[in-house]
Amino acid sequence: MLTAFARAFKTPDLRKKLLFTLGIVVIYRLGAHVPIPGVDYTNVQTCMDVANSSTGLFGLVNMFSGGALLQITVFALGIMPYITASIILQLLTVVIPRLEALKKEGQAGTAKITQYTRYLTVALAILQGTGLVATARTGALFQGCPVASEIVPDQSIFITITMVITMTAGTCVMMWLGELITDRGIGNGMSILMFISIAATFPSALWAIKKQGSLADGWIEFGTVILVGLVMVGLVVFVEQAQRRIPVQYAKRMIGRRSYGGTSTYIPLKVNQAGVIPVIFASSLLYIPALVAQFAGGDSQWKVWIDDHLTKGNHPYYIVTYFLLIVFFAFFYVAISFNPEEVADNMKKYGGFIPGIRAGRPTAEYLSYVLNRITWPGSLYLGLIALVPTMALVGFGANQNFPFGGTSILIIVGVGLETVKQIESQLQQRNYEGFLR
């Protein structure tokens, strides 16, 4: 593998793409530490040392921003607005006929949907930026910190608007950087930035586990976590690469004097067809009642119940609800992202058929049957992987931002595999040996 990297850097155009991607990553990480106006960073650092805020409601967003959220920097919102906008547009494509027609138009329609995604990203960035500023002003961003309410000393309208505009502009710059990587670098730009954001939190999280450990000054806990992480990476790679291949044959057709078709191929159905989206959906949905309860005044019975049952990651109610939501969203997302009837119609149109299955409706029913069967183990796998931080919370006393937790490890492995495949394909085009021998 190291030899393949050396060969990649020896190829001039591939070396340019890799260096360009690394340069964008450096710019992105610098922006994650640039402060925004109106924030007292002495109080921010004090609160980050006193309050373990990464275990609160903002843990997921903070992870996607590479730790920039709790520091309230230019890139504090991370790429969460873009991720949310992309998911919303993808769901609306199934519901709104106009978007579905654009999706079928090819590259022009995709460009139009991308433009809508950008507009929605800006709107969501303004909304989330306003919420973050309001949370910081009330002191709810750092619970348990004595100077949490003094993070934003000047609470005038002008300073508030300036902070929101700055964070929204930071999100737009991140979106632009991601598109630059996609066009001129290696891999999908947004995925690469997401990968870097999550990977940037690993060293501090691992060192925090070492400092909290009690066995041999924490080195035993540190080594155990590293070992668990390696095992989890191997498991995730195995499942992410697993797929059910449904054979498809195309009948031979004679057009004039030439014959077409007569080939055999397959439809690859991944075990984890939904990817990491069910975990993000379930996490976001569980944050809503906790966030409402946090801003609700008084000590009403429903607020106390939510605080006791749905905000503590090791509570049985939270664990069961989280697991069931992941399973539900896995089936839901697979149902809207893969249309068996459309696949069966396309196969029939081009003379394809599954051996032993009649073309048309029987093919669609067979695809639905197979997809439901492989979605069950995929959804259970997602639920178990997502509960790893909870087990770490109980076993090691770690926080819910356990470095090898469900969402982070799924994204790290998924993006890593896709990026390696792209480098592999470009190396093979130049008759070089790739990563896989």
Check whether residue 103 and residue 158 sit in a common domain: yes
Residue 83 lies in a domain: yes
Residue 411 lies in a domain: no
Check whether residue 193 and residue 236 sit in a common domain: no
Check whether residue 8 and residue 131 sit in a common domain: yes
* Orientation angle between helical segments 406-429 and 12-31, nearest 10 degrees: 160
Check whether residue 215 and residue 171 sit in a common domain: no
Model pTM?
0.77
Cα separation, 327 vs 317, in Å, equals 16
Residue 68 lies in a domain: yes
Residue 376 lies in a domain: yes
CB 35 within 8 A of CB 41: yes
Check whether residue 124 and residue 261 sit in a common domain: no
Check whether residue 234 and residue 104 sit in a common domain: no
Residue 431 lies in a domain: no
CB 410 within 8 A of CB 423: no
Write phi, then psi, for 258 (nearest 5 degrees): -110, 145
Tens-binned pLDDT, residue by residue, of the chain (437 aa): 556 667 777 778 888 888 899 999 999 888 888 888 888 888 777 777 665 544 445 666 676 676 677 778 888 888 888 888 888 888 888 788 888 888 878 788 888 888 999 999 999 999 888 888 887 887 777 766 777 777 888 778 888 899 899 999 999 999 999 889 988 888 888 888 888 888 887 887 777 777 776 666 677 877 887 887 888 888 888 888 888 888 888 776 666 666 665 677 888 888 888 887 888 788 777 777 766 666 665 566 766 667 666 666 566 777 888 888 889 988 988 888 888 888 888 888 877 888 888 888 888 899 899 999 999 998 888 888 887 766 665 555 555 455 666 677 888 888 888 888 888 777 777 654 555 55
Check whether residue 117 and residue 154 sit in a common domain: yes
Check whether residue 214 and residue 183 sit in a common domain: no
What is the domain extent for residue 253?
Answer: 202-404
Cα separation, 125 vs 407, in Å, equals 22
Residue 394 lies in a domain: yes
Residue 430 lies in a domain: no
Check whether residue 182 and residue 265 sit in a common domain: no
Check whether residue 226 and residue 367 sit in a common domain: yes
Check whether residue 194 and residue 209 sit in a common domain: no
- Tokens linked to 79: 């790429």
Residue 409 lies in a domain: no
Domain boundary among 144, 166, 200: 200
Cα separation, 405 vs 412, in Å, equals 11
CB 66 within 8 A of CB 196: yes
Residue 53 has what DSSP assignment? G
Q: Is 244 helix (H, G, I), strand (E, B) or coil?
A: strand
In CATH, what number is assigned to the domain containing residue 220? Answer: 1.10.3370.10
Total count of domains within the chain: 2
Check whether residue 207 and residue 156 sit in a common domain: no
Cα separation, 297 vs 408, in Å, equals 33
Q: Is 15 helix (H, G, I), strand (E, B) or coil?
A: helix
Q: What is the pLDDT of residues 90-113, one digit of tens each?
A: 888 878 888 888 887 878 888 888
Domain boundary among 149, 173, 200: 200
Domain boundary among 200, 230, 256: 200
